[in-house]
Amino acid sequence: MKKVLLILMALVAIGIGGIFMVEDYTEDSLYFPTGGTYKLASVTFQLDQFSIATVVTGTKWNSSIQSWLVLNGNSLDMSICGWYETPNFIMELESGTHTLDLMFRGSAGMWYIINPRLQVLIHYNDDGSVSEAPPKTTPIETRSILSSGAAVIVPECTEVIDLTGRIVSSNPPQGRIELSNLSAGTYLARTQNGRTIKIVKL
């Protein structure tokens, strides 16, 4: 309770100027022929300031397995999850690029994981970009963008579409989807290998 109260106070302190959600999900079963450790879902995003993240995971399977979250290569939590359970996590994130993975470990045997989902809701202060001239190291100076706000990074992204099917971005550089370039709404980022990441800007 104390931790939640401190996080709520932090939300007020940073000012909730922007909220976005990024979700990796599979609308079908994932089949694993043997036991072992597997990645069910993964999202990557970039923040230019301290933010608060609410993480929800969800899936179904026919018996208990171990599942946990990995943030930037470090395990956050391990839990035993069963049918219809949706573990929730609230965490503080510093500026930088973050990758969050939903992992699972099953014993020997065949596994069908139904509708795995990793959803991250980010609360951040949306103050816009910061522009600054670089140091005078050359005779020619050009202004550079040091910070362009929050972004979602989808490797090998080929297009971003809205719910009407309209393409709003094609082949974003390094798969970086700038939230400042999107109006409020829901978008689907598609990759070369058929993966889809849902982005919601509120």
Output the pTM of the full model: 0.77
Using CA atoms, how far apart are residues 176 and 3, in angstroms rounded to an integer?
32
Contact 202, 19 (CB under 8 A): yes
Contact 63, 114 (CB under 8 A): no
pLDDT 10s digits, 79-130: 544 444 566 778 899 999 999 999 888 776 667 788 888 999 999 876 654 4
pLDDT 10s digits, 20-58: 999 999 888 788 777 788 899 999 999 989 999 999 887
The structural domains of the chain, with segments of one domain joined by +, span: 2-16+26-40+52-124
CA proximity to 163, closest of 186, 190, 142: 186
The domain 2-16+26-40+52-124 having CATH identifier 2.60.120: the answer here is yes
The size of the chain, in residues, is 202
Q: Other CB atoms closer than 10 Å to residue 191's CB: what's the count?
A: 15
Distance (Å) of CA 50 to CA 13, 114, 150: 11, 34, 11
Distance (Å) of CA 172 to CA 23, 136, 142, 157: 18, 30, 23, 7
